[in-house]
Amino acid sequence: MSDTTPDTTPDGTPDDRAAAGAPASDRHLPVLLQRCVDLLAPALRAPGSVLVDCTLGMGGHTEAVLEQVPTARVVGIDRDPQALELAGARLARFGDRFTGVHAVYDEVGDVVADLGLPGVQGVLMDLGVSSLQLDEAERGFAYSQDAPLDMRMDQSRGLTAADVLNTYDQRDLVRILRDYGEERFALRVARAIVRRREERPWARTAELADVVRGAIPAATRKTGGNPSKRTFQALRIEVNGELEVLERAVPAAIEALAVGGRIVVESYHSLEDRIVKRALARGTTSSAPEGLPVEPETHRPYLEPLTRGAEEADAAELERNPRSASVRLRAAQRLRPTPSHLLPSSRPNKEARR
């Protein structure tokens, strides 16, 4: 999905602190940083314990864990080679306690297996688009800056946003705008996109923002921020397959956890949080049919929730980091192995991706 939460102002422009070219430590303020460390630390106290940071991004969460939990090692996964390079430079002082891996985070099971680890003690996912990607206008993520319509988190492969806009039929455009952007006026926007590409191919973000603004009724544009944000979110999710990846990633991450290991996930919109909630609920509730006099061992919960529902940012966090307003944090601890009848059916084909 992404690799950190956005460092943007309310209109979608990068935060002044997140200047492109600045060191990674100056370009991103992680959301609920200390809360994440506090949730993960009890599982990382034994020497050689391993945390997998599935969405490494600029490395802020990983740096905090390595500083505060000297017994821990971290494996950082990111699909963006540039993020890996910047985070690697930030974390070089920790030596072999940090290992960076170029992968999509639903490949977490393969990453753990390739490193010869029988299981890990912690998994962290901080979802959303990264500050790195927003900082650099040429990536095409920010609707407030004119740039090529790219939006790929890994620019070495896959369809761009321009490809989607120029090749998807109107029905598919309506689907992604409605399902991924929760856009009330999905049909109007899709029709405008198709009309515009009949004149010339889509290429730039500013053109898209203008067309979307014109397709949204004027009365609606007066509230809710920039009317383009839902379309840009929908395209980003489609281009990067974010929800499909997340659907696979959470179960895979749970299966990578050793008994006693902990998983922490930060989501930033309801589509993500719904997937995370459902995956954790499968492990924290009994799978036994109702009415049985005795619950069979194989149907007992294999996860224990560490949060009551989804935690939100408190007033202090919001003041320190306004971008935390939409965060929903969920966490759980593995109690025992997953019963065989509840195991995920398969892992993603790593070679097919490439």
Residue-wise pLDDT tens digits, 239-295? 999 999 999 999 999 999 999 999 999 999 999 999 999 999 999 987 767 767 766
Where does the chain hold its CATH 1.10.150.170 domain(s)?
138-239
Given a cut of 70, whether residue 14 has pLDDT beyond it is: no
pLDDT given at position 165: 98
To the question of whether residue 133 is assigned a binding role by annotation, the answer is yes
CA–CA gap between residue 168 and residue 152 (Å, rounded)? 17
Res. 343 pLDDT band, cuts 50 70 90: confident
Report the chain's mean pLDDT, rounded to a whole number. 87
CA–CA gap between residue 73 and residue 51 (Å, rounded)? 6
Given a cut of 50, whether residue 69 has pLDDT beyond it is: yes
Given a cut of 60, whether residue 94 has pLDDT beyond it is: yes
Higher pLDDT, 145 or 225: 145
pLDDT given at position 124: 98
Name the CATH topology of 138-239: DNA polymerase; domain 1 (1.10.150)
The candidate with the shortest Cα–Cα distance to 306, out of 274, 329, 287, is 329
Name the least confident of 134-143, 189-198, 300-309.
Answer: 134-143
Residues 326 and 31 sit within 8 Å (Cβ to Cβ): no
pLDDT given at position 300: 87
Calculate what percentage of the chain has a pLDDT beyond 70: 85
Domain 16-131+243-353 has CATH 3.40.50.150: yes
CA R_g for the chain: 21
Return contacts of 175-180, CB within 8 angstroms, 24+ apart.
176/234, 176/235, 176/237, 176/238, 177/230, 177/231, 177/234, 179/234, 180/233, 180/234, 180/237, 180/238, 180/243, 180/271
CA–CA gap between residue 162 and residue 333 (Å, rounded)? 42
Mean pLDDT, residues 27-48 taken together: 92
Name the least confident of 18-32, 113-127, 220-234, 305-319.
Answer: 18-32
CB burial of residue 64 (10 Å; 0-12, 13-18, 19+): middle
Where does the chain hold its CATH 3.40.50.150 domain(s)?
16-131+243-353
Strand pairing class (120-126; 72-78): unpaired
Q: What are phi and psi of 288, to 5 degrees?
A: -75, 145
pLDDT given at position 322: 85
- With a CB cutoff of 8 Å and minimum separation 6, the contacts of 43 are 49, 121, 122, 260, 261, 262, 333
Helix (H) or strand (E) holding 239: helix 229-240
CA–CA gap between residue 208 and residue 205 (Å, rounded)? 5
- With a CB cutoff of 8 Å and minimum separation 6, the contacts of 203 are 148, 149, 162
Higher pLDDT, 86 or 27: 86
Distance of CA 298 to the CA centre of its chain: 32
pLDDT given at position 221: 81
pLDDT given at position 77: 97
The candidate with the shortest Cα–Cα distance to 225, out of 329, 326, 328, 327, is 326
To the question of whether residue 60 is assigned a binding role by annotation, the answer is yes
Q: How many residues does the chain have?
A: 354
Q: Report the predicted TM-score, pTM, of the whole model to 2 decimal places.
A: 0.86
* Bridge partners for 52 per DSSP: 75, 123
